[in-house]
Amino acid sequence: MLKGVTSSALYDLGTSLPAAAYGSIPAPRTATVDFSAVQDAKGSSKSFPKHETRHLSEHKNIARCARFSPDGRFVATGSADTSIKLFEVAKIKQMMLPDARDGPVRPVIRTFYDHIQPINDLDFHPQNTVLISGAKDHTIKFFDFSKMTAKRAFRVIQDTHNVRSVSFHPSGDFLLAGTDHQIPHLYDVNTFQCFLSSNVPEIGVNGSINQVRYSSTGGMYVTASKDGAVRLWDGVTANCVRSIVGAHGAAEVTGANFTKDQRFVLSCGKDSTVKLWEVGTGRLVKQYLGATHLQLRCQAVFNDTEEFVLSIDEPSNEIVIWDALTAEKVARWPSNHIGAPRWLEHSPIEAAFVSCGTDRSIRFWKEVL
């Protein structure tokens, strides 16, 4: 049913990017936030720092997704034009300086063309200079971005379905694909074997997976499905350990991801709500309300310190920010895109995020220091 095609040794690292330097993840800036603590009084919301934004680049069609590398040094974007752009964050910051004396800085360091259908999702290998993409052409492709000239994938996994979401296990030895199939596909990166859970709850025909994400240790993974459920899976046995059915009413769940301590999951749905769930009990802990998202497959994300939650208000074309602990709205910013952005992705290490537009453009946002 599933076959892998390899065209070169995996992770044959070139000399342009030393492997040791890549993937060394800096210590987090703050301790994790305890969301199960007693609800804070409303007046105690933090204010979200002012950011500056810059148009980075333009795809030839809708910019559909983005992902930062675990060390925050790179960010990749995928588009309906079937291309992937890789940016170096240090070059983006250099480009944003007011006095760029040496002429224009080009933050795009690689462009990959190897898909024949729109890109749905991206992820970085946790240790190596490898980027993976999942696309509507039913494939997952592996790109080695240490090679200056490589435009094509060095490895391809052929799936049976539209690959809507991809997530690397923290070891880098496995990856998950969320597809139009209702069960996540677990791949061994080295053998291409595909494992399917043998213990699956009854999932209806509308169970396509919009997003799949591993927890920080790989002990669990979470899926966000079109049928409105958030499902938690055991990272070792691949069994579904909890189904939060109707997490967003009858509306589809467009995104779900874990907090850094793996105790909570933040989900986003087409019912215009963002919700925080306790993993151990399946209990709804917080709701972040006041941003309308009914059309696009948007996701809600934490900032790097998990003190704030960011999402998109489609009608006003704004980025909405809540205090994560009080669930109070603390900012609404014009997105500067023409039409609502489709995707927000926050840096794991600093106060910076990217927005991807229906207008084909990529914008970078960073705190004004």
Per-residue pLDDT tens digits of the chain, which is 369 residues long: 333 433 333 333 333 333 444 555 555 455 567 777 655 555 688 999 888 888 767 666 777 899 999 999 999 998 877 788 999 999 999 988 887 666 678 888 888 887 778 899 999 999 999 999 999 999 999 999 998 887 899 999 999 999 999 999 999 999 999 999 989 999 999 998 998 877 676 776 678 999 999 999 999 999 999 999 999 999 988 999 999 999 998 899 999 999 999 999 999 999 989 999 999 999 999 999 977 666 667 789 999 999 999 998 888 888 999 999 999 999 998 887 787 788 899 999 999 999 888 888 888 989 998
| 90/123 Cα distance (integer angstroms) | 19
DSSP letter at 44 equals G
| pTM of the entire predicted model | 0.87
Cβ atoms 29, 305 nearer than 8 A: yes
| 121/134 Cα distance (integer angstroms) | 5
Beta pairing partners, 175: 168, 187
pLDDT score, position 106: 86
Token pair recorded at residue 211: 């997003």
pLDDT score, position 32: 63
| 56/354 Cα distance (integer angstroms) | 9
DSSP secondary structure letters along 173-234? SEEEEEESSSSPEEEETTT--EE--SS-----TT--EEEEEE-TTSSEEEEEETTS-EEEEE
pLDDT score, position 314: 86
| 296/250 Cα distance (integer angstroms) | 16
Closest CA to 253 of 332, 182, 187: 182
pLDDT score, position 122: 95
Cβ atoms 267, 247 nearer than 8 A: yes
pLDDT score, position 7: 34
pLDDT score, position 35: 74
